[in-house]
Amino acid sequence: MCKFLIASLLATASAFAAEKPNILVIIADDLGWGDVSCNGTSAVKTPNIDRVASEGLRFTSGYCSASTCTPTRFSLLTGTYAFRQKGTGVAPPNAPALIQPSTPTIASLLKQQGYATAAIGKWHLGLGTDQPDWNGDLKPGPLEIGFDHCLLLPTTNDRVPQVFVEDHRVRNLDPADPLWVGDKKPSPDHPTGITHRDTLKMDWSLGHNCTIHNGISRIGFYTGGMKARFRDQDLADEWVREANTWLEANKSKPFFLYFASHDIHVPRAPHERFAGKSGLGPRGDCIVEFDWCVGELMKTLDRLGLAENTLVVICSDNGPVLDDGYKDQAVELLGKHKPAGPYSGGKYSVLEGGTRTPFITRWKGRIKPGVSDETVCTIDLPASAAALAGQPLPANACLDSLNVLDALLGKPGAKGRDWLVQQDNGGGNFGLRQGKWKLIRQKPGPQAVKKGKAPADRLYDLSTDPAEKNNIAADHPEDLKRLQGLLDNAITTGRTRKAE
Ligand code: CA
């Protein structure tokens, strides 16, 4: 009897590693906690996301690690806080690869366990050694850090260029029409959002006034590559099509797909069939488009019979923003919609709205549907995925990624993180949450530096003050000190995952 029990326990413990379930991470762009209707405050309906949530686990304290695109993506893949590496703020169009070849990533760890791996969608983590070689081989890139295949928007779509990168090359590039990308205007007569503002289909409100493509002016300049350029409205369709093709081709292997939608980042130009569907203008329509993407991918899993062998994670890369450089009526048509739900701040901020974002896991037949208040973060995906696949973590990589697999799977009594660090775009502002407590540390501004006096750290009780309005640091010196110690240690020791 005893022998039997032990054998059963051992079999259970190794069951996950033995079967190597598929992992599908769907990451939205700038989608706020309140932007999905399953979180209860949305004026936009997201039926497909809601369905995934009802079939899985919806986290009320799910986070991304930073409040802008590049650092969260860096950390999601590497499992290390972006603030540990300089130059991981929002990457410019000609940024070189920010993750060095052979750096262990969620993709390379899973690849070691025989997973097929692909990145489809927005990259925004740089390509190339010094800068991207747009007309040659674009490497290093995803294929040098563990992905077998990629179809990427190389930067972010408010920055140039509007081309797909497929594996190492710009797709459909005509060598007779080379692609040039730069930060200087290529010729005096090159049309820009300033010189040809009256021709724009979507006007800019701040910056975003360089090269015009598809009636939208961008950050940065480019010329050539006309056959390779995409229409903004077709991004979601193309990525869903590519994902479906790749999933079909890899259905019999364990796979890891990183599907990085551009919705709902600016410029918000959803496919025409979604235009006007939300009543909130392009921002809301892009939420509807993102929700459609989720629905299509779930349909594909069902069609291929993979829903019961695939862990699905839906998350976002930072909190919401309304006017992010284009006049797209996000502010004017907002109405009662609350993109950050009950939280303050959003994109660029270390207030809760900046990083507390939609976070859903689903694995049919394995995850008991429900709601979890455990704290989990996108930075934990490498360690958790590695645990799921039975891959040990390297000692000196994934320095801040914690194995919260049991919490992601909703196992009874499973704990998420005890605390987590929140960063901004790398500007030196930090948040730290532990249970109900939230610490905010602001980088001293120029005036404070002049006076030699840093702003005092602030402390909030999220259980009574989710909007972080009432600084109670003076009333709770011991809690303040404890959180300050955690943050100081996280920054100075270079890792928060204990060395094993
Ligand atoms: Ca983003």
Contact call for residues 190 and 166 (beta carbons, < 8 A):
no
The span from the CA of 151 to the CA of 80, in Å, is 24
Question: 407 and 282, same structural domain?
Answer: yes
Using pLDDT thresholds of 50, 70 and 90, give the confidence band for residue 186. very high
Q: Is residue 354 part of a domain?
A: yes
| CA-based end-to-end distance of the chain | 35
Residue 295 CA to ligand 1 center (angstroms) comes to: 21
Domain end point (choices 356, 382, 413): 413
Residue 470 CA to ligand 1 center (angstroms) comes to: 28
Q: What is the pLDDT of residue 447?
A: 83
Using pLDDT thresholds of 50, 70 and 90, give the confidence band for residue 374. very high
Residue 317 CA to ligand 1 center (angstroms) comes to: 5
Strand-pair partners of 441: 430
Question: 452 and 347, same structural domain?
Answer: no
Q: What is the pLDDT of residue 62?
A: 98
- Residue-by-residue DSSP string for 305-367: T-GGGEEEEEEESS---S-SSB-SSTTTT-TT--TTTT----TT--SHHHHB---EEE-TTTS
Q: Is residue 134 part of a domain?
A: yes
The span from the CA of 14 to the CA of 20, in Å, is 10
Question: 463 and 363, same structural domain?
Answer: no
Residue 122 CA to ligand 1 center (angstroms) comes to: 10
Task: Copy the structure tokens of residue 183.
Answer: 């930060």
Q: Is residue 260 part of a domain?
A: yes
Question: 441 and 329, same structural domain?
Answer: no
Q: What is the pLDDT of residue 4?
A: 47
Q: Is residue 109 part of a domain?
A: yes
- Higher pLDDT among residues 1 and 218, named by residue: 218
Question: 387 and 275, same structural domain?
Answer: yes
Q: Is residue 181 part of a domain?
A: no
pLDDT in tens, 111-159: 999 999 999 999 999 999 999 999 999 999 999 999 999 999 999 999 9
Question: 301 and 381, same structural domain?
Answer: yes
Contact call for residues 160 and 211 (beta carbons, < 8 A):
yes
Question: 402 and 263, same structural domain?
Answer: yes
Q: Is residue 199 part of a domain?
A: no
Task: Answer whether residue 20 shows pLDDT above 50.
Answer: yes
Residues flanking ion ligand 1, Cβ below 5 Å: 29-30, 69, 317-318
Task: Answer whether residue 23 shows pLDDT above 80.
Answer: yes
Could you give the percent of the chain with pLDDT greater than 70?
Answer: 96
How many structural domains are present in the chain?
Answer: 2
Q: Which residues contact 375 (CB under 8 A, 6 or more apart)?
A: 61, 63, 416, 417, 418, 419, 420, 433
pTM of the predicted protein model = 0.96
Give the structural domain span for 289.
Answer: 18-170+231-413
Residue 151's φ and ψ, nearest 5 degrees, are: -135, 105
Question: 462 and 382, same structural domain?
Answer: no
Question: 396 and 342, same structural domain?
Answer: yes
Question: 106 and 42, same structural domain?
Answer: yes
Using pLDDT thresholds of 50, 70 and 90, give the confidence band for residue 9. very low
Residue 348 CA to ligand 1 center (angstroms) comes to: 9
Q: Domain of 42: which CATH number? A: 3.40.720.10
Q: Domain of 477: which CATH number? A: 3.30.1120.10
Q: Is residue 210 part of a domain?
A: no
Residue 244 CA to ligand 1 center (angstroms) comes to: 24
Residue 4 CA to ligand 1 center (angstroms) comes to: 51
Three-class DSSP category at 75: helix
Residue 476 CA to ligand 1 center (angstroms) comes to: 34
Using pLDDT thresholds of 50, 70 and 90, give the confidence band for residue 312. very high
Helices (H), 27-89: 47-55, 69-78
Task: Copy the structure tokens of residue 28.
Answer: 């939205």
Question: 156 and 256, same structural domain?
Answer: yes
Domain end point (choices 362, 388, 413): 413
Q: Is residue 286 part of a domain?
A: yes
pLDDT in tens, 24-50: 999 999 999 999 999 997 899 999 999
Residue 156 CA to ligand 1 center (angstroms) comes to: 9
Question: 377 and 329, same structural domain?
Answer: yes
Mean pLDDT of the chain: 95
Residue 387 CA to ligand 1 center (angstroms) comes to: 27
